[in-house]
Amino acid sequence: MIMASITDCSLLKLPKIKYRAGNITALEGLKDIPFEMKRLFYVYDIPGGVVRGGHAHHQCHQLIIAASGSFDVQIDDGKNKKTFNLNRPYFALHVVPGVWNNLSNFSSGAICLVLASEKYSEADYIRNYQDYLKLVR
């Protein structure tokens, strides 16, 4: 597992092309984002009060974007915690491997878009917080 700190995570301002008919954000891996994307997924129709995430990765980088609406992302390295409110589709939170994350406080109609550096692999996930703390300490 890559040992990381919340200071290794960053809020990125994504390129935004303004048009009268609506804005566009286009992303290219290794140009606009700090990794080559191998997977994209999005979470939507999230019931009120639900917490998503609740895991860390051994290898996978994630770029988390509020494609619509808003939500909070709490990152945690086992010592420090920080919460980001994502509410604009041209900002993204880069979560590095080894950092725990929780997503909460989803607004009605929120869509959470995630770009990932790796294809899905259950072995890459750390899903138990106590196990995570043992790994990082």
Among 55, 57, 58, 61, the active-site one is 55
The candidate with the shortest Cα–Cα distance to 8, out of 85, 101, 114, 105, is: 101
Q: Are 41 and 116 in contact (CB under 8 A)?
A: yes
Q: List Cα–Cα distances, 98 to 15, 17, 112, in angstroms.
A: 27, 33, 21
Active-site residue, 55 included: yes
Would you name the residues annotated as active-site residues?
A: 55
